Amino acid sequence: MELDLAVQNAVITIAGMGTFEGSLGVKDGKVAALTAGSSAGAAKEVVDARGMHLLPGVFDAHSHYGLGGDDDFSTETRAAARAGITSTLSYLLKLDTDYESPYLEMRREGEAKSLIDFGFHFGVSSIEQAKRLTWAADQFGVVSHKYFMSFKRPGEGDYLGVHAVHDGILYQVMREVAKDPRVILVVHSENIEVVWSLADELRSSGADGLAAWNDSRPDFTEAHDIGTVGMFSELTGAKVFIPHVSSAMALEAAKRFASNRPILETCPHFLTHTCDDEYLGSLGKVNPPLRPKRDVEALWEAVFDGTIDLIASDHNSRKRANKSGDIWSSSAGFPGQGTMLPAILTEGVVRRGLALERAVELLCASPARIFGHYPRKGTLLPGSDADFVVVDLETWAAPDTESWGSFSDYSLHEREELAGWPVATYLRGRRIWSTDDGWTTDPAGEFLPATPVEG
């Protein structure tokens, strides 16, 4: 069999297999050969990756396409491809009970413009929506749904597509989630009533900056609501997932449920920045907030010991101009996909000694597995999609936000050099970006329906 592509002499890392010198062969968009030798076999195209690392394409399970720019499937997937991301799940949140029209519109746009494969999380913030969870799984292959505990005032979440809720609705939603083992409830956990009180107090006192934002949404507000979610999960049997875990107290709240704890995600910014990074100003505003250094260290400990299940970007392509003003008036959220892989490789692997295999588990295999896309995605085992990234771990560079492809024009890392930048990214064996040739002009991203595997 003649391969379509062979990548030879690379240092390959696959979760569950470790790191080894070897070669990879591609046929018809799938991994067809994986060897510890210097050749994967005869091929139409041969790439010599000597001195480079070859990793599965990053599976970013947390992005917000459409909240920043109107053309995010074009711009943000360019930034993602350049950063080694080959698949993403983006949040599609609507007030309507019927998701069919917005789903079809977003899918068509993605299939026309996206450089990478993509899927969706829907939103659920009413009992009526909750009764259609199995319908969404059957009809669209969408099995994960976002619930915000932080919108409780009428109309407050309308701009995002979220109804006002309370814990009674959460409990009822979780009862519906428990009826279908495929379904995962993704819960943004912050006790917003406490936040209202503290924010009013701090704002009236003239407090400003990232430290004030952290003080207005302290760690116990996150931990409190994780405790509620964990208890409801035990009572109902619903599968729950906590995104963007930011604090030591939140980790402890989750760990109290032992083997029944929620699935936990953290984000690169919670592992690399703190609320004391005053130079960021309002650029660093996000919910939950950047925390003190002690929380960064607790999160890294959880990354090493297995408490954190995956890392995702929480990417939002908002412009710098939308982040201007004081901390109370600027928009929350920032771009993360363009630096996600090098940020984790730099801070985790290079500086802290995190095993490269563990980084690949957190960034690739685990998110694909949790959301029903493994082993098609997240690995380089034979038969999987040939999504991979060739990475240079030796060269250090700062992100160039003028040329990185994103609609957004800044990065939290713009003042620092990072290692682990991709030199080429491949989707199903097709090069979609490289340092030599730039981006492909032929978007070939496909929609990813979830196919959960029992157990």
Q: How confident is the model at residue 455 (pLDDT cuts 50, 70, 90)?
A: very low
- State the number of CA atoms in the 13 A half-sphere of 280 facing the CB: 26
CA–centroid distance for 204 within its chain: 35
Contact 308, 250 (CB under 8 A): no
Structure tokens at 134: 């199995």
For the chain, the three-class secondary structure string (H helix, E strand, C coil) is CCEEEEEEEEEEEECCCEEEEEEEEEECCEEEEEECCCCCCCEEEEEECCCCEEEECEEEEEECCCCCCCCHHHHHHHHHHHCCEEEEEEEECCCCCCCHHHHHHHHHHHHHHCCCEEEEEEECCCHHHHCCHHHHHHHHCCCEEEEECCCCCCCCCHHHCCCCCCHHHHHHHHHHHCCCCCCEEEEECCCHHHHHHHHHHHHHCCCCHHHHHHHHCCHHHHHHHHHHHHHHHHHHCCCEEECCCCCHHHHHHHHCCHHHCCEEEECHHHHHCCCCCHHHHHHHCCCCCCCCHHHHHHHHHHHHHCCCCEECCCECCCCHHHHCCCCCCCCCCCCCHHHHHHHHHHHHHHHHCCCHHHHHHHHHHHHHHHCCCCCCCCCCCCCCECCEEEEECCCCECCCCCCCCCCCCCCCCCCCCECCEEEEEEECCEEEEECCCEECCCCCCCECCCCCCCC
Ramachandran angles phi, psi of 186, nearest 5°: -95, 115
Q: Beta-carbon neighbour count of residue 446 at 10 Å? A: 17
In our burial notation (b when 16+ CB lie closer than 10 A, e otherwise), range 120-141 reads bbbbbbbeebbebbeebbeebb
Query: Across residues 145-165, what is the average pLDDT?
Result: 94
pLDDT in tens, 219-228: 999 999 999 9
- What is the per-residue pLDDT for 39? 85
| pLDDT tier, 22 (very low <50, low <70, confident <90, very high otherwise) | very high
Please answer whether residues 360 and 58 qualify as being in contact, where contact means their C-beta atoms are separated by less than 8 angstroms. Answer: no
Mean pLDDT of 409-416: 96
- CA dist 107 and 124 (Å) reads 19
Name all domains of the chain by residue range, CATH numbers in brackets. 3-53+384-439 (2.30.40.10), 58-370 (3.20.20.140)
With 70 as the cut, is the pLDDT of residue 351 above it? yes
pLDDT tens figures, 89-99: 999 999 999 89
pLDDT value of position 453: 67
Task: Write down the pLDDT at residue 32.
Answer: 97
Entry pTM = 0.97
What are the pLDDT digits (tens) for 103-133?
A: 999 999 999 999 999 999 999 999 999 999 9
Beta bridge partners of 319: none
pLDDT of residue 69: 87
Give dist(CA 379, CA 198) in Å, integer.
45
Q: How far is CA 439 from CA 177, 404, 425, in A?
A: 40, 11, 9
Pairing type for strands 18-27 and 3-14 reads: antiparallel
Q: Which pLDDT band holds residue 454 (cuts at 50, 70, 90)?
A: low
Bridge partners of 265, per DSSP, are 310
Q: How far is Cα 277 from Cα 266, in angstroms, rounded to an integer?
A: 19
CA torsion, points 445, 145, 329, 314, in degrees to nearest 10? Answer: -50
Q: Per-residue pLDDT averaged across 79-95, rounded?
A: 97
Among residues of the chain, what percentage have pLDDT more than 90? 95
For 232, the token pair is: 């409801």
What span, in angstroms and rounded, lies between the C-alpha atoms of 298 and 50? 36
Q: What percent of the chain has pLDDT over 70?
A: 99
Residue 56 in contact with residue 360, Cβ under 8 Å?
yes
Predicted pLDDT of residue 38:
85
Contact 159, 148 (CB under 8 A): no
CB atoms within 10 A of CB 305: 8
Average pLDDT, the chain: 96
* 326: exposed, middle or buried (Cβ count in 10 Å: 0-12, 13-18, 19+): middle
Structure tokens given for 190? 């912050």
Angle at 51 between CA 50 and CA 52, to 5 degrees: 90
Between residues 145 and 454, the one the model is more confident about: 145
What is the average pLDDT across 340-352?
98
Q: Give dist(CA 181, CA 454) in Å, integer.
A: 8
Identify whether the C-beta of residue 157 lies closer than 8 Å to the C-beta of residue 180. no
